[in-house]
Structure 1
Amino acid sequence: MNPLILVVDDEADVELLFRQQFRRELRAHRFTMEFARSAAEALGRIEKAGDATLILILSDINMPGMSGLDLLPKARAIRPDVPVIMITAYGDADTQDRAMAGGAEALLTKPIDFAALRGEIETRVEQAL
């Protein structure tokens, strides 16, 4: 089974962007990406993954309903073994402090540095294999 990365963002174009940025890796079945359009949907997918090879959760912070910061401790409670990287357009110190205090592995700001993210994902994939 391929390592799984869950991307959580309410914006529809994020899935297209991630699939485009990681098209080579996805075509080569290096890992699989699933997408959730809300924190609630993400929680369902995290619970459903069980002991599957979920290796990373990437979550936007600002979403309607449950925010990424609200999702963070819930996701960590279900799968404490899976790192969560938060993504935000607002990389202020308060947001970073709240994300890190909630158990985030890191905080990325938009626009995303996909080269750096690719390196992070590659590290996780290698550890999973």
Structure 2
Amino acid sequence: MSVYILIVDDEPDLETLFRQHFRRELRAGRFSMEFATSAPAALQRASDVCDPSLVLILSDINMPGMSGLEMLPEIRAKRPEVPVIMISAYGDAETRRTALERGAEGLLTKPIDFGQLRQEIDARLGQTA
């Protein structure tokens, strides 16, 4: 089974950054990454994929229009089996509490610790094996 991770962020440079950090895994075919530049696009993509190949959603909190926190309950309703980890420049207790209350499995702060993220992805891939 081919698995993928959906990354939601309005910053155009983020895709390049993620592809650089995970180039070995992507080249080896361990997983693939898809990118959505808005919450509505992510909701549509999560609805379009009806099989278990979607193993993780990473979403920025602060985006124009619908924020990641506003998207979170909707994505959890559509795909309750897919864990969502929020990404924020602000790792304060209130942001963390709100994200967890709305269904996030965790909160990563920017700049992203790609070592920590790699461990999280490895754990998700281990659960699907």
Alignment-mate amino acid for residue 65 of structure 2: G
Alignment-mate amino acid for residue 121 of structure 2: I
Deviation at 1:25, TM superposition (A): 0.2
Alignment-mate amino acid for residue 105 of structure 2: E
Match of 2:89 in 1: 89
Q: Which moved more, 1:49-58 or 1:83-92?
A: 49-58
Tell me, in whole angstroms, the C-alpha distance in 1 between the residues paired with 2:67 and 2:30: 30
Tell me, in whole angstroms, the C-alpha distance in 2 between the residues paired with 1:91 and 1:46: 26
> In the TM superposition, what whole-angstrom CA distance separates every residue of 1:86-127 from its partner, at most 9, and x where no partner exists?
000011111111001001000000001100100110111121
Number of equivalenced pairs? 129
Q: TM-score, normalised by structure 2?
A: 0.98
Can you give the 5+ residue segments of structure 1 that lack an aligned partner in the other structure? none
Which secondary structure state, in structure 1, belongs to the residue aligned with residue 34 of structure 2?
A: strand
Which secondary structure state, in structure 2, belongs to the residue aligned with residue 104 of structure 1?
A: coil
Deviation at 1:3, TM superposition (A): 1.1
Can you give the 5+ residue segments of structure 2 that lack an aligned partner in the other structure? none
Match of 2:76 in 1: 76
Deviation at 1:11, TM superposition (A): 0.3
* Superposed CA RMSD: 0.7
Match of 1:50 in 2: 50
> In the TM superposition, what whole-angstrom CA distance separates every residue of 1:11-69 from its partner, at most 9, and x where no partner exists?
00000000000000000000010000000000010001112410000000000000000
Deviation at 1:2, TM superposition (A): 1.4
Moved runs in structure 1, 4+ residues, more than 3 A? none
Q: TM-score, normalised by structure 1?
A: 0.98
Which secondary structure state, in structure 2, belongs to the residue aligned with residue 35 of structure 1?
A: strand
Match of 1:14 in 2: 14
